[in-house]
Amino acid sequence: MKQKVLLTLAALLLAAAPLFAQNDDKPFAEAFIVLQLSDADPEVQARVISVANNLIKHYGGPDFVDIEIVAFGPGLSLLYPDNPQRERIESLVAADVRFVGCMNTVATIERKTGQKPELIPETIPVQTGVAHLVERATQGYVVIRP
């Protein structure tokens, strides 16, 4: 019974998300989505990029969906300038997809290697990637880990 109630509540929250999520830069957005990336595997990173592109197509263009990709831990490597996905990232940036990087991960890499990793200039820094996911969820964004 408790599981059924929780599933019902989760379904109601997902259905209501567009009612309370908003982005003034995307006034016509029907969906608000955050894609979580915490994996350095190139196939997983390519999948996240593909999911973002598929969502844009599904909703009829970048004006109708608000997408953010949050990279932390090993997933931060997506935001390195030499990442093989760079051209696809630039295409998504042109479609107003935001790329968010975890500065805690940057600090950890710098502590371990002695060098601060360089990130693409389009990176939006946040202190804690996971906390940013939580904040977005409370703002009505749907968090997905492809």
pLDDT tens for 22-51 read 777 788 999 999 999 999 999 999 999 999
Give the number of domains in the chain: 1
Boundaries of domain holding 91: 28-144
User: Does residue 62 register a pLDDT over 70?
Assistant: yes
Question: E strand or H helix at 69, and its extent?
Answer: strand 65-71
What does pTM read for this prediction?
0.84
Residue 57 lies in a domain: yes
Residue 123 lies in a domain: yes
CA dihedral sign, ordered 90, 127, 25, 38:
positive
d(CA 132, CA 122): 17
pLDDT tens for 81-93 read 999 999 999 999 9
d(CA 141, CA 21): 6
- The single-letter code of the amino acid at 132 is H
Q: Where are the alpha helices (DSSP H) in the chain?
A: 2-20, 42-58, 86-94, 103-113, 129-138
Residue 81 lies in a domain: yes
d(CA 138, CA 87): 32
| CATH number of the CATH domain containing 46 | 3.40.1260.10
CB 48 within 8 A of CB 77: no
